[in-house]
């Protein structure tokens, strides 16, 4: 059966239930992207109903069709340029008078229109009854249907009515009378605009009205056309003359006329029983937005969200990390050593694993945000925090993504989507990397443990976190006054009634946002991971300062000779395995040593717990010696020699790897940047670590471990702490300066990739990388040089 294809555009105010209806209608058949050239999200979905196939376009939520935001311009341009078969205006029946302002502007676009009265159950609970037929009559026969989005009621009827409305390609003749002066001006303009009408496609009357309102977007479109200068100049004269006649700005007068019309319509169609009734939402707000309890409750909820994302999320993230680690080992075991194996295991599998470890946290983040948005609490949270945040050029809603920045910049940047205003969104995106994310904490931990006394360690760490918050506030204020300056938008936000969210809506909302991270950011991160693998592994042939292969062979020969002289000869055997009792004893001693090493891996050698475990180990070995007095000395010697060989081979391998890294392209880059970072107290080793740390801040530690010939290291590595403390180029002031630099400089690759996705441009990730690194240099320079002047550099 061939289905009739119908394109329907969903339009409506924010919080009108538009997206809930879209999710109910389309289900999993959705595609989410961005409109070309803008950061506004574009959602498309599909629905088959009878002999009809609907393509549903969920346009951005907007209160009007002026040109003050990308959402408004995108909505009106889509209706005019893409010409959907029908526009479905989703109206919040409980706030119908305000919603009808957008309806009037949609009618003026002269496009087939259907009105969907949504949330009629909420309106009736408030004592408001809407006369559907009277509403249709007041708007020149525009069809009206009823829906309850959260219960998925009336959506099929809405689509069938939309299909019927789509057959009417002619305007329903709606025409709002703006008074003699305005109507006369429109008549003067219409003949001038008829020749330009076909080029920019907007209805002539609507176009004339927009020019009288001095719509900057429309004027810009006209100016691009050939021979339009005279038309634009004449339009300006007519507008100025009209403004003088009205005694006020034309745009304000026109808006006032629309509101008057909407008010008259609402009085005719709405029966309000008790306008002063206290609703359930009002009762809840008395607690949740209370001056005394509002902030503590909000912080409590944010604490729950924070722990949900970064505590519970760590569990599946650990599983993913372990799974990719085992996959790397498995693939590595079946591949021969060489560049291909290194690329697959370290570059591709390591890169993909690094991407996927973020996913559980991102899913949980958007789960929490979806619940808060769908219940209606998110609007209250913004209201509560706005006064505090506005002092620093931030919107109230910015607090939530910034709070999440303590865990990870990736969900913090993605969380900025909750901000409707592009300026607020951009400022939040650019300053969120200044929060100390969990990836930076291991770097702080190692440096503090290596250079600061435990009595001040907490204060040092706290000062870094506070520095990040202070810089965030300063930079937000600077951005508001420079890059994103303009009139500060007042905090105007509808407080929707509290609702119980539907599981379907929450899951779809959560998944559509989370999947974008995998589809878009993942590919960029993978490519960058492969690039970093190349930089750290090539050139593959380098000239080493030592013959590491010969030294390894020499170590093995020395070991074999010592085992023969100290273990085998006294026992008259050629091999350890010839004596089963000796073999068992060696295994027993090695088990005790392994158990001790695992138990003390995260302990300091001067701690009481370490001393206790060391005493227990000695006791176990003494017991083994008592039970095997004749062979114990030989077994212990064999274990000592074997352990020494492994340590020597590991040291040589790590030293070789460190030397190769020094001569790699990334090492050369580190030495190239050394003159620039010398004033900060850093040498080329730190430079390599910082360059590698752009991939992920945790990589700073593993790179240091490689440079200091220690192999793989993390925040619990005692050997790395010792190596750093012994480096004559490092001291407490340099360590603190390094922490400051790590705090501020370029966001990690994952954050940059997501930033590109959210801004729809490489310009802002590049700017963030450059400004972050420049700011890090300046602040670190002040800290280091100021510290030296105060005598802290010794």
Binding residues for Mg(2+): 23, 26-27
The distance between the two most distant Cα atoms of the chain, rounded to a whole number of Å, is 120
* CA–CA distances in Å: residue 477 to residues 52, 430, 778: 53, 12, 18
Peptide bond into 230 cis (omega under 30): no
DSSP category for residue 59: P
Neighbours of 589 (CB within 10 A): 21
Contact between 125 and 97 under an 8 Å Cβ cutoff? The reply is no
Closest CA to 60 of 15, 97, 127, 113: 15
CB 451 within 8 A of CB 793: no
What backbone torsions phi and psi does residue 626 show, to the nearest 5 degrees? -60, -40
The rounded distance, in Å, linking the Cα atoms of 111 and 170 is: 7
Structural element, H or E, at residue 8:
strand 4-12
> HSE on the CB side for 779, CA within 13 Å?
25
Give the residue from 756, 676, 516, 607 showing the smallest Cα distance to 31: 516
Q: Is residue 131 classed as helix, strand or coil in its secondary structure?
A: coil
Distance CA 270, CA 370 (A): 32
Helix (H) or strand (E) holding 114: strand 113-118
Q: Which residues, including other chains, have CB under 8 Å from residue 761's CB and lie 6 or more apart?
A: none
Contacts of 728 (CB under 8 A, 6+ apart): none
Tokens coding 29 = 């058949």
List, as residue ranges, the binding site for GTP: 12-19, 37-41, 58-61, 118-121
CB 53 within 8 A of CB 5: yes
What pairing do the DSSP bridges indicate for beta strands 41-49 and 52-58? antiparallel
């Amino acid at each position: 059966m061939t289905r009739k294809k119908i394109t329907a555009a969903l339009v409506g105010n924010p919080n009108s239930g538009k997206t809930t209806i879209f999710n109910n209608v389309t289900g999993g058949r959705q595609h989410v992207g961005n409109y070309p050239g803008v950061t506004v999200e574009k959602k498309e979905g599909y629905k088959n109903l009878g002999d009809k196939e609907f393509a549903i376009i969920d346009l951005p939520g907007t209160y009007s069709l002026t040109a003050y935001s990308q959402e408004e311009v995108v909505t009106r341009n889509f209706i005019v340029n893409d010409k959907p078969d029908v526009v479905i205006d989703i109206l919040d029946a409980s706030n119908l008078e305000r919603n009808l302002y957008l309806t009037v502007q949609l009618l003026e676009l002269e496009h087939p229109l259907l009105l969907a009265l949504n949330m009629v159950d909420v309106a009736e609970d408030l004592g408001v009854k809407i006369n559907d037929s009277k509403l249709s009559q007041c708007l020149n026969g525009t069809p009206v249907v009823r829906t309850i989005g959260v219960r998925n009621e009336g959506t099929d009827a809405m689509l069938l009515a939309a299909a019927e409305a789509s057959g009417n390609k002619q305007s329903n003749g709606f025409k709002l009378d703006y008074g003699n002066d305005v109507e006369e001006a429109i008549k003067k303009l219409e003949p001038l605009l008829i020749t330009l009408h076909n080029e920019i496609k907007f209805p002539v009357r609507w176009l004339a009205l927009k020019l009288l309102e001095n719509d900057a977007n429309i004027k810009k479109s006209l100016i691009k056309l050939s021979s339009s200068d005279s038309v634009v100049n004449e339009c300006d004269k007519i507008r100025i003359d009209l403004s003088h006649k009205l005694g006020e700005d034309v745009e304000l007068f026109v808006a006032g006329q629309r509101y008057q019309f909407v008010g008259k319509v609402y009085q005719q169609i709405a029966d309000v029983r008790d306008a002063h009734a206290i609703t359930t939402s009002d009762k809840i707000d008395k607690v949740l937005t209370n001056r005394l309890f509002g902030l503590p409750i909000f912080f409590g909820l944010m604490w729950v969200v924070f722990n949900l994302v970064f505590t519970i999320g760590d569990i599946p993230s650990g599983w993913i990390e372990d799974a990719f680690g085992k996959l790397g080992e498995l693939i590595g075991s079946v591949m021969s050593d060489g560049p291909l194996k290194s690329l697959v295991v370290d570059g591709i599998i390591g890169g993909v694993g690094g991407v996927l470890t973020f996913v559980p946290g991102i899913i949980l983040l958007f789960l929490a945000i979806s619940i808060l948005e769908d219940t209606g609490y998110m609007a209250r949270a913004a209201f509560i925090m706005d006064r505090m945040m506005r002092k620093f050029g931030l919107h109230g809603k910015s607090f939530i993504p910034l709070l999440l920045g303590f865990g990870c910049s990736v969900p913090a940047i993605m969380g900025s989507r909750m901000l409707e205003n592009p300026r607020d969104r951009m400022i939040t995106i650019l300053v969120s990397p200044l929060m100390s994310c969990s990836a930076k904490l291991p770097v702080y931990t190692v440096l503090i443990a290596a250079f600061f006394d435990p009595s001040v360690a907490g204060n040092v760490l706290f000062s870094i976190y506070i520095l990040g918050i202070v810089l965030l506030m300063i930079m937000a204020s600077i951005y508001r006054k420079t890059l994103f300056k303009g009139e500060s938008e007042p905090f105007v936000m509808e407080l929707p009634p509290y609702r119980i969210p539907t599981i379907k809506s929450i899951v779809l909302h959560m998944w559509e946002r989370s999947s974008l991270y995998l589809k878009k950011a993942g590919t960029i991160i993978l490519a960058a991971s492969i690039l970093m693998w190349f930089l750290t592994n090539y050139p593959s042939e380098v000239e080493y300062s030592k013959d590491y292969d010969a030294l390894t062979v020499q170590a093995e020969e020395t070991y074999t000779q010592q085992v023969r002289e100290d273990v085998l000869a006294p026992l008259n055997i050629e091999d350890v395995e010839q004596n089963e009792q000796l073999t068992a004893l060696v295994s027993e001693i090695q088990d005790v040593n392994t158990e001790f090493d695992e138990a003390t891996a995260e302990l300091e050698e001067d701690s009481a717990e370490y001393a206790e475990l060391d005493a227990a180990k000695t006791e176990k070995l003494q017991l083994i010696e008592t039970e095997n007095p004749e062979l114990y000395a030989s077994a212990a010697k064999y274990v000592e020699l074997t352990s020494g060989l492994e340590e020597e081979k590991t040291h040589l391998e790590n030293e070789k790897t460190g030397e190769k890294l020094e001569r790699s392209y990334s090492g050369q880059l580190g030495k190239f940047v050394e003159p620039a970072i010398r004033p900060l107290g850093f040498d080329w080793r730190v430079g390599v670590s910082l360059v590698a740390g752009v991939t992920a801040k945790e990589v700073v530690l593993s790179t240091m471990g490689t440079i200091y010939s220690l192999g793989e290291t993390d925040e619990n590595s005692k050997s790395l702490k010792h190596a750093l403390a012994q480096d004559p180029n490092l001291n407490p002031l340099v360590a603190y300066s390094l922490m400051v630099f790590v705090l501020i400089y370029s966001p990690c690759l994952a954050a940059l990739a997501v930033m590109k996705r959210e801004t729809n441009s490489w310009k802002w990730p590049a700017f963030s990388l450059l400004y972050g690194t420049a700011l890090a240099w300046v602040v670190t320079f002040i800290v280091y040089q100021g510290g030296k002047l105060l005598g802290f550099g010794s």
